[in-house]
Amino acid sequence: MNDRTRGTRITDLVRSQRDFFNTGETRPVEFRMDALRRLRDALKLHEEELLAALHDDVRKPPFEAFITEVGPVMDDLKHAVKNLVKWMDPERVKTPLSLFPARSRVYHDPYGVVLIIAPWNYPLSLVIAPLIGALAAGNCAVLKTSPLAVATTAVLKKILGDLFPRKYVAVVEEEKDINTTLLNEKFDYIFFTGGASVGREVYRAAAGSLTPVTLELGGKSPCIVADDADMALAARRIAWGKFVNAGQVCVAPDYLVVSERMKGGLVEAIIREIRKFYGDNPSESEHYARIISDHHFRRLTRLMEGCTIVHGGRTDPADRYIAPTIIDNVKPDHPLMKEEIFGPLLPVITTDSIDDAVRLVKSMPEPLSLYLFTGDRAVRERIIRGIPFGGGCVNDTVVHVGNIHLPFGGVGRSGTGAYHGYESFRTFSHGKSVVLKSRFLDNPLRYAPYRKYGIRLLKFVMG
């Protein structure tokens, strides 16, 4: 298919969705609720097929796939169905006395036709989670899935194609340069999850048409372990958060920050947990995932070159296997610290104090997530209030993403905007502010010619 044909096809798709949106059919609560319920039922019906596809794409263990993809999506759908009526109600806000008599409301309007661009590492949840918000808000949606997640994309296309007409929800074909073709279209909202380089392209394209965007990017998410931390607990939770999905998680701990006094014991404890999780040879474990592609495998193996590897380091290009790996003696200017790792490599950096840890993290781009292990409230507040980051955990890793009551998103170079739960509904809705003024009382002082005592009265009313 040539560029002109592809462009025409996408243009026709967007036009058909806009025409359908303009009929008003997606706006009633009954329509939205029906779409969400049918999506929930379909995902439940095809659960085993989805788990198998996720295993095919990245060797994701079924239990891990359920707790990180299928389960959270089902929870999100259940939450949306339960709360949609309340979310759609106009929000009441206060009205100043100077506008008396009046009421003020915020109406939540759907944007129209939205584009959702999803990555490969969580090819189910990072497509469906934003789609839930888009449908709950009353939009039509074009979904761009990753060409790397072949099996999961095929199942999703089948499920969504059977559920919804393309004029309402459509998964676009996986073709070369499809992002460019899509971004040439005028969407009413763009939701992008992925790397910063493509995120910049999305932002530039959206700026040309003044299209609002949410960018869920990544970054180097630090894990700071204070001297008072529970070492065994920290090791277990760091090992889980870092090596789940073979480290291919946008919120995985990207590097470890610890004092020299704590480092040796903590590293040994993490190694013990790795062995508990995956055995002495993780390549034989059914609980350990694989790298998504040859390109990413080569990128990660290059990052290990010349490093001080204290655990792991084994690779198998035929299987795209990289062992859980811990790397010591890493300096802030090391290549490992120049980009998001997005793989099972854990660099360890030592600092002399919490203040040094704060300075180190703040010298780098704002992270999507931050993790801190401590029992000291003062240290906790120092880190939370002293470092900009999207979200995170104290005494755990990654699990904040699973709380649908928390908005999830980045800050600065790790993204803009947020979603999950009610925040997803808000993201895909325009807040339309309206003052409902009474017809039965009209203040004559607002009209010309203005009275001299009018300003004094207004100042009194406004306090």
Task: Tell me the pLDDT of the chain (463 aa) as tens digits.
Answer: 555 556 678 999 999 999 999 999 999 999 999 999 999 999 999 999 999 999 999 899 999 999 999 999 999 999 999 999 999 999 999 999 888 899 999 999 999 999 999 999 999 999 999 999 999 999 999 999 998 999 999 999 999 999 999 999 999 966 556 678 899 999 999 999 999 989 999 999 999 999 999 999 988 999 999 999 999 999 999 999 999 999 999 999 999 999 999 999 999 999 999 999 999 999 999 999 999 999 999 999 999 999 999 999 999 999 999 999 999 999 998 999 999 999 999 999 999 999 999 999 999 999 999 999 999 999 999 999 999 999 999 999 999 999 999 999 999 999 999 999 999 999 999 999 999 999 988 888 788 888 877 778 777 777 6
Burial class (CB in 10 A: 0-12, 13-18, 19+), 392: buried
H or E stretch at 94 = none
Catalytic residue among 216, 273, 366, 423: 216
Distances (CA, A) of 38 to 123, 135, 267, 401: 20, 12, 47, 25
Question: What gap in Å lies between CA 33 and CA 220, rounded to an integer?
Answer: 38
Are residues 142 and 187 in contact, defined by beta-carbon separation less than 8 angstroms?
yes
* Long-range pairs, 85-91, Cβ under 8 A, ≥24: 85/29, 87/136, 87/422, 87/425, 88/29, 88/32, 90/434, 91/431
Reply yes or no on whether 216 is catalytic: yes
User: Amino acid letter at 67?
Assistant: I
User: Amino acid letter at 203?
Assistant: Y
Give the number of other CB atoms < 10 A from CB of residue 372. Answer: 27
Structure token pair of residue 58: 């990245």
Strand order in the sheet with 429-437: 91-93, 102-110, 429-437
Residue 426's region, left for phi above 0, alpha for psi from -120 to 50, else beta, is alpha
Catalytic residue among 250, 307, 340, 393: 250
Radius of gyration over alpha carbons of the chain, in Å? 25
Q: What is the pTM of this model?
A: 0.94
